Amino acid sequence: MCLYELQQRVSESVQPDAGMTISYSGQFEFLQRANARLTWVVPATLLIIFVLLYLTFNRLAEALLIMATLPFALTGGVWLLYWLGFNLSVATGVGFIALAGVSAEFGVIMLIYLQNAWHSRVEAGRTNNPALLESIREGAVLRVRPKVMTVAVIIAGLLPILWGEGAGSEVMKRIAAPMVGGMITAPLLSMLVLPAAYWLIRRRGQAK
């Protein structure tokens, strides 16, 4: 039974007399303070990521593109939490923050590869849509092997934590779970969805 179910049962079955109150302290009180802190830490983290993306590309479109794809990258972490039966907590929040940073890094590197391939064709005087599609294919294919190696290393490092037992393992499992689940959806997103979205943005710019 989780604490929230206990609170509900206590509120339904116990009617305190006048002047009496029921309070929950100890670890629950600490978790409440940590949850309140996360309500501003998470938005601040996302804002910092957005600013860094904008400083990297110097274009609002690319920064917004990566930020818009972050929720889709986090779905893998949500699915694994549901499958393992973990509730949202401070530990899972830390895991999602780390996953957001990794998925943003995946998107940044993919866009850099796409831009380098496209700029090489622009310098050669090829600025039509077939050249754009060719550059996107080239940039995306170049990222497959490094992406597979990166994901394999991250998962290999996190699986022992996810399966570990002993002191502190319950907290560490909840930090690692979003990362492991996100390593399934985030790479697929950056290798498939981001190149397609980049094609739509650049093609519209070429049409103008």
pLDDT at 1 over 70: no
Give how many domains the chain has, as a whole number: 1
Query: Which residue is associated with the tokens 């929230």?
Result: 4
Q: Which CATH number goes with the domain that contains 93?
A: 1.20.1640.10
Confidence of residue 100 (pLDDT cuts 50, 70, 90): confident
pLDDT at 207 over 60: no
> Mean pLDDT across the stretch 31-44?
76
> Mean pLDDT across the stretch 122-137?
84
**Residues of the domain holding 156:** 26-206
Tokens representing 162? 């996810």
In a domain, 19, yes or no: no
Rounded Cα distance, 76 and 155, in Å = 13
pLDDT at position 165: 78
pTM of the model: 0.75
